[in-house]
Amino acid sequence: MSQPPGIRPLDGITVISLEHAIAAPFCTRQLADLGARVIKVERPGVGDFARGYDQRVNGLASHFVWTNRSKESLSLDLKQEVAGNILDQLLEQADVLVQNLAPGAAERLGLSFEALHARFPKLIVCDISGYGAGGPYEQKKAYDLLIQSEGGFLSVTGGPGDDQMAKAGNSIADIAAGMYAYTGVLSALLLRGKTGEGSHVDVSMLESLVEWMNYPLYYAYEGATPPPRAGAAHATIYPYGPFPTGDGNTIMLGLQNEREWRLFCEQVLLQPELADDERFAANFKRVENRGVLRALIVDAFAALDFDTVIARLDGASIANARVNDMQGVWQHPQLKARERWRQVATPNGTIPSLLPPASSNAFSPRMDAVPGLGEHSASILAQLGLTAERIEELRICGVI
């Protein structure tokens, strides 16, 4: 390639982030992956409250180490006037501000897009909130599980009984919002390249998750019955889910069309007559008769061990998967073969960290250290022209 080595897409871009928890940190970490300088502004002595969620990673929090590598931490008490002056100096030199403070907090600090655009017309402002600006829920607090509930996710996730609803095993609403904030900032940078002006990116967790809920929404269009909660099985395609094998293991399999159904009957179940059984002659019929069909499959698999079932499924080109736990994922042979893990520094030693999923042949992503609270305060302030004596004064006064 003709591109100079070491160039990343966002080299030279500076992001200031007033962030906590997951949505905004996940957004800005991905910007850092692409080369952006991300200055994470945190409260002195406390920091991003996600630092205290747990101590599972060498004494550090699992959420925090995941979403905060390659950043610089500046501790700054924004309630003090001098801190506001420092933030202004940073924003004057920055390209992007990302914030997911409590509802109304950014406006009270004078950090609304309108106020900032008047002073810094090239600055891109990305606001992440639970419900977005305007509307009756604007000031309502929002956390991931609450948005999973408001967005209808819980209504289609879990077991069949009303008392068996289940949340996602990760912070899916936060992740959705973080992804849309990330892509929103990238599009705003492209737009600024054409117009010369910064713009406002407004991301709500509710709208992000509801976008991901469009399949069950359309399935329930105009009052139709929504997809039922079906545990780990697919609610509207069958057979598509977990099935036990005779040696006590569980296999996940999925059939998507009638060709695969016939192959499954002929080469996996060794019951070719089932392919033409009227009860199972189309996907919607298999869904309607899933109880009967599940019993037939479980009975066939009861005489087989896990490896035999896998071999038959692979031989018939039927999609299948192991039901891995977390240790199984850490040791996953595909991730190992593709060399997807790197070592990243933290204040408490190095840890493995997954490479960003979108690999490029043009550049290597940043995989720099997870910062300690306020680790870069002195160096950032020195770059703004503050003397060592003045920085120490700010530290004594609790500004940093």
Q: Is 20 a catalytic residue?
A: no
Paired with 120 in beta bridges are: none
Do the Cβ atoms of 239 and 301 come closer than 8 Å?
no
Given the residues 117, 234, 332, 376, select the one marked as catalytic.
Answer: 234
Phi-psi sector, 88: left (phi>0), alpha (psi -120 to 50), beta: alpha
Paired with 342 in beta bridges are: 353
Give the residue numbers marked as catalytic: 234
